[in-house]
Amino acid sequence: MIIVMKPRAKQDSILRIKNIIESHGLDAHISTGKQVTIIGVVGDKSKLQDLNLEIYEDVEKIVAVTESYKLANKKFHPDPSVVTVGNVKIGGGNFVIFSGPCAVESKDQLLATAHAIKKAGAHILRGGAYKPRTSPYSFQGLEEEGLKFMKEARDETGLPVVCEVTSLNAIEAAIKYVDMLQIGARNMQNFYLLKEAGKTGLPVLLKRGLSATIDEWLNAAEYIIAEGNPNVVLCERGIRTFETATRNTLDISAIPVIKEKSHLPIIVDPSHATGVRAYVKPLAKGALATGADGLMIETHPNPSCALSDGPQSLTFEQFENLTNELKPIADLIDRKL
C-alpha cells in the first residue's frame, strides 16, 4: 500500500509514519514529488491494520496497491525516474541513443564503431562481450578481453559503455570496465542474476523476455530495485508471436503501457525486434513518436562480415542517416536528442 501525505506535510510527520512502518518489520520507501510526498509500504500490510494511520497528522489517504510489483510501480513513485549512466541521463525528456555492434569482435572493430556512432550523435556505446546464442556453435563473445576493448573505447571517445552479463562471473568481470549492465531477454527471469546485478549498484538495462507479459517484466525489475538499486532502464526488444516476417514482433504499445504503470525509463531495440535492417529505421521513428526514452541500434563497420546479427546491423552511413531523420521528430514532440 501507499500512504499519501498532505501537500506541504511537515518532515516530522513524514518521519513519524516511516518509523511506525519500520518498527512493525516493514520497509518504507519515501518518494518526494513537487506537490506531495508518498510513502510506499513493502511487506505484510496486515501488520498495520489496527493502527489507523489515516488519523495521523498530515496523512491525506491510504491507497491499496494490487500489483505484485511495488518499487517499480508508478503509484509508489509518481514522478518519472531519471537514470544516469556515466554523464548521460536517461528519462526526464531526454532521448538517448545506444549503439554499437551486437558482438565485440576486435579492438579495431569496436574503436572504429565507437568513433563513428559518436560523430553521428549516439550517446552510449553498446557491445556484447558475452553472447548467449541459440546455437552452441555460434560465436560466444570475447568475454573479459572484449570488456577491456570497451573500456578503451570509452577512454578514447568519452561514451559510457553497456554490456550484457550472463552469469555472476560475467558481472564480477564487467563491473571493472563498464558503466551499465545489461540483462538480456533470455535472462529476464533469471532471478539470481537479477539480484546480483542489483547488488552492484550499477545502472541496469533490463530487456523484456521473449514471451514475457508486461507485469512479468516489471516484476523482474522489482528484483533489481529490491536490492537497493533504483537505476533500472527497461528495453522493449520484441516478443515472440505467430508472425514470421520479422524475428520478433515489436510491441510498440508497451511504451505507453509502461509509462502508465511504472516510473522507469523505457527504450526500444528495433534491431533485435525485427532482425531486418530495412525495418529498423521506421520502427525507430515510431518508438520516438510513441514516447520512448531512447533507442538501441546495432551498427557494424561491415555488417555482411559480422560474427553476430549482421542482417539487422546498420552501416555507419545508415546510422548517421537515421539520427538525422530522428531530429525533426524529436523537435516536434519536444524531446532532447
Residues 87-97 have pLDDT tens digits of 999 999 999 99
Mean pLDDT of 200-226: 97
So what's the pLDDT on residue 59?
Answer: 93
pLDDT over 90 at 136, yes or no: no
Contact in structure between 252 and 286 (CB atoms under 8 Å): yes
Mean pLDDT of 116-130: 96
So what's the pLDDT on residue 98?
Answer: 98
Percent of the chain exceeding pLDDT 70 equals 98
Give the integer Cα–Cα distance in Å for 179 and 205: 11
Mean pLDDT of 116-122: 98
Cell of 293: 526514452
Mean pLDDT of 92-107: 95
Amino acid at 95: F
So what's the pLDDT on residue 44?
Answer: 84
pLDDT over 90 at 140, yes or no: no
pLDDT over 70 at 139, yes or no: no
Q: CB under 8 Å to 21, separation ≥6 — which residues?
A: 27, 28, 39, 41, 48
pLDDT over 80 at 138, yes or no: no
**Of the ranges 40-54, 68-82, 267-281, which is most confident?**
267-281
So what's the pLDDT on residue 254?
Answer: 98
So what's the pLDDT on residue 133?
Answer: 62
pLDDT over 90 at 186, yes or no: yes
Give the integer Cα–Cα distance in Å for 144 and 256: 37
So what's the pLDDT on residue 225?
Answer: 96
How far does CA 179 lie from the centroid of its chain?
13
Give 144-165 pLDDT, tens digit per residue: 999 999 999 999 999 999 999 9
Instruction: Set out the domains of the chain in order of their start, with CATH numbers.
Output: 2-63 (3.30.70.1140), 83-332 (3.20.20.70)
Half-sphere exposure of 184 (CA within 13 A, CB side): 20
Mean pLDDT of the chain: 94
pLDDT over 90 at 64, yes or no: no
| Range name among 57-71, 184-198, 226-240, 271-285 with the lowest pLDDT average | 57-71
Give 214-263 pLDDT, tens digit per residue: 999 999 999 999 999 999 999 999 999 999 999 999 999 999 999 999 99
So what's the pLDDT on residue 11?
Answer: 92
The three state secondary structure string of the chain is CEEEECCCCCHHHHHHHHHHHHHCCCEEEEEECCCCEEEEEECCHHHHCCCCHHHCCCEEEEECCCCCCCCCECCCCCCCCCEEECCEEECCCECEEEEECCCCCCHHHHHHHHHHHHHHCCCEEECCCCCCCCCCCCCCCCCHHHHHHHHHHHHHHCCCEEEECCCHHHHHHHCCCCCEEEECHHHCCCHHHHHHHHHHCCCEEEECCCCCCHHHHHHHHHHHHCCCCCCEEEEECCECCCCCCCCCECCCCHHHHHHHHECCCEEECHHHHHCCHHHHHHHHHHHHHHCCCEEEEEECCCHHHCCCCHHHCECHHHHHHHHHHHHHHHHHCCCEC
Percent of the chain exceeding pLDDT 90 equals 83
pLDDT over 80 at 195, yes or no: yes
So what's the pLDDT on residue 50?
Answer: 84
So what's the pLDDT on residue 43?
Answer: 85
Give the integer Cα–Cα distance in Å for 140 and 270: 22
Mean pLDDT of 298-305: 95
**Closest by CA position to 123, among listed 293, 315, 249:** 293
Give the integer Cα–Cα distance in Å for 185 and 212: 9
* pLDDT classification of 35: cutoffs 50, 70, 90: confident
Give the integer Cα–Cα distance in Å for 37 and 76: 10
